[in-house]
Amino acid sequence: MFDISEYNKYYCSYEGKKEKNGQTYTEAEKQAHRPNNLAADKHRQGIAFERSKSQRIEYFKLSFLLLEKRQVKFMASIVKQSTTDGTRYLIQLSPGENEARPKISLGRVTKNQAETAKVNIESVIRCKDAGAIMPPAVQEWLKGISDGLRKRLTALGIIEPTKDGPNITVADLVSRYIVSRPDVKAITKGKWQNAYNKLSAFFRNQNIEDVTVQQAKDFRIYLKTVGQLSENTVRRLIGLSRQFFKAAIDAGLLSKNPFAGQAISVRANPERFYYVNQEMALKVLDTCPDSEWRLIFGLSRWGGLRCPSEVLGLKWQDVDFEHSRFTVHACKTEHHADSGIRIVPMFPELKPLFQDAFDNANEGDIYCITRYRKATTNFRTTMTKIIKRAGYKPWPKLFQNLRSTRETELFKMTGGNVKAVCNWIGNSPEIAMQHYAQVTEADIQEAAKSSLINDAEKRVQKTVHNTVQTADATNRNEPQEIIASPCDCNDKREFATLCESKNYPQGESNPCLQDENLIS
């Protein structure tokens, strides 16, 4: 807490100095610089006031020294101006701040915003005249002002001109980067535009040079809390932000990347896996409205194609009915060594769907899907309606889980031929294992019913039974003979080489039991 005695010491000594010089302060000037009133005024304006004792004392000393130096009124005023566009507010400086008393236009602002601007401008002028460091709250306010206001304050000498180079805001940086990349596809630019919207909303008009590492971390928190985005979506946006600032470093505009060091790798989320079994898939297929939508769903579920990019890119010339295969051109992986081209078998589930769509196609059609190629087509919305009509609740990641289901199926069908399956699906084994391959309930049940596990269970049971029988015989006081049950040589053939059905005296080992105990 602020020590009032420290304030009184400075205040009273200054009052004595004024009286000695024959000067007096008005009551308003005195009240304006008392701690309680000043703190209340700062609170009303929404300005964070420094709480440390040394900083508050320094602020009061600064105020009194400036008043002694000027001996004139030191307070700007707000001027209300009516225009054809509505009411405007201007800040008019006092004679002590600028003898010409210029008016500073704030643009379209509310009265509260004008009050905030007035307080901050006064603080900037005081700190500059005294050679003091501006409070952090004032520095933050300066970072967020518009370019027009910044130019007007610079012209009046209230703030220093910007550093070397153009004043580039975060929004300017991203927009320029997007324009400078005509080589990318529209879907990529759409993702960049989404990142631009998020960055602009958070950093507003902040200069890229002023973005700190802590602010970059705060942006991540903002995406999670205010944006309510998932962890993987946040990681993608942070990765794009890092990409934009790296471009600024490459252009010589920055020396450090404030987003460096943050996690951006997308992680697998098993909670969003969903296995669309054959029964469900056939019901959904029957609910599709036409042959093209049946092909869209079939290519996603039984072909493992990416939807909509690979599905819409499929042409009739790519479909080889004679050899039961079709060629997929993946724009997502066209920069890879295989140029994103892969051959996919025409699985039995797909043959009638291809034939039906071909029979219903118009003469001269190039693409397999022609009715749903408009940019306004929303595949997710239509797919959700189809699933609901089939009597199911829409699963997470509608199309990716269809692709994931098919890859999981193909691993089983091929006996784990990873190379072939990843070739057909168009991903790497690492990505397949982390983001696509699923462990289903059927896998667990099948494993529990397998003959291998059942055989092992029988062997364990026999081992436990014989061990208990031997322990009971050992605990007897009198040496006795253990009457062993007849041995089934067939059951123990792989564990013992010697087996005879006879009685064994206590202390001697049955060869069959001995070999069984070795595996317990």
Is residue 212 over pLDDT 90?
Answer: yes
Instruction: Check residue 23 and give its pLDDT.
Output: 46
Residues 171-200, mean pLDDT to the nearest whole number = 92
Q: Dump pLDDT digits (tens) for 73-97.
A: 557 889 988 887 788 899 998 887 8
Instruction: Check residue 211 and give its pLDDT.
Output: 93
Q: Which of 158-162, 395-399, 487-491 has the highest mean pLDDT?
A: 395-399
Tokens representing 16 are 């004595």
Give the residue among 317, 276, 322, 316 at the shortest CA–CA distance from 298: 276
Instruction: Check residue 508 and give its pLDDT.
Output: 43
**Residue owning tokens 């042409």:** 315
Strand arrangement of the beta sheet that strand 325-329 belongs to: 319-320, 325-329, 341-345
Is residue 402 over pLDDT 90?
Answer: yes
Instruction: Check residue 495 and give its pLDDT.
Output: 39
pLDDT grade for 454, boundaries at 50, 70 and 90: low
Maximal C-alpha separation, the chain: 129
Residues 446-473, mean pLDDT to the nearest whole number = 59
CB 38 within 8 A of CB 101: no
Residues 64-69, mean pLDDT to the nearest whole number = 50
Is residue 105 over pLDDT 70?
Answer: yes
pLDDT grade for 381, boundaries at 50, 70 and 90: very high
Q: Dump pLDDT digits (tens) for 465-497.
A: 565 565 555 555 555 444 444 444 444 444 344
Residues 327-353, mean pLDDT to the nearest whole number = 88
DSSP 182: T
Q: Dump pLDDT digits (tens) for 5-23.
A: 444 444 444 444 444 344 4
Is residue 340 over pLDDT 80?
Answer: yes
**277-281: long-range contacts (C-beta < 8 A, 24 or more apart)?**
277/405, 280/390, 280/392, 281/405
Q: What distance in Å separates the CA atoms of residue 255 and residue 166, rounded to the nearest whole number?
A: 15
Q: Which helix (H) or strand (E) holds 457?
A: helix 451-474
Is residue 411 over pLDDT 90?
Answer: yes
- When comparing pLDDT for 71 and 335, which is higher? 335
Residues 485-514, mean pLDDT to the nearest whole number = 43
Q: What distance in Å separates the CA atoms of residue 287 and residue 290, rounded to the nearest whole number?
A: 9
Q: What distance in Å separates the CA atoms of residue 161 and residue 67, rounded to the nearest whole number?
A: 27
Is residue 192 over pLDDT 90?
Answer: yes
For the chain, list the domains and their CATH numbers: 4-155 (no CATH), 170-267 (1.10.150.130), 275-441 (1.10.443.10), 452-518 (no CATH)
Instruction: Check residue 455 and give its pLDDT.
Output: 60
Is residue 392 over pLDDT 90?
Answer: yes
- When comparing pLDDT for 2 and 314, which is higher? 314
Alpha helices, DSSP H, located in 22-146: 27-32, 35-44, 53-70, 111-130, 136-144
- When comparing pLDDT for 108 and 175, which is higher? 175
Q: Which helix (H) or strand (E) holds 79?
A: strand 77-83
Instruction: Check residue 352 and give its pLDDT.
Output: 96
Instruction: Check residue 323 and give its pLDDT.
Output: 95
CB 311 within 8 A of CB 329: no
Share of the chain above pLDDT 70, in %: 71
Residues 348-371, mean pLDDT to the nearest whole number = 95
Alpha helices, DSSP H, located in 361-397: 379-389
DSSP 367: B
As a whole number, the mean pLDDT across the chain is: 78
Q: Dump pLDDT digits (tens) for 275-330.
A: 999 999 999 999 999 999 999 999 999 999 999 999 999 999 999 999 999 999 98
Share of the chain above pLDDT 90, in %: 44
pLDDT grade for 506, boundaries at 50, 70 and 90: very low
Q: What distance in Å separates the CA atoms of residue 53 and residue 516, rounded to the nearest whole number?
A: 81
Instruction: Check residue 461 and give its pLDDT.
Output: 61
CB 170 within 8 A of CB 211: yes
Q: Dump pLDDT digits (tens) for 413-431.
A: 999 899 999 999 998 898 8
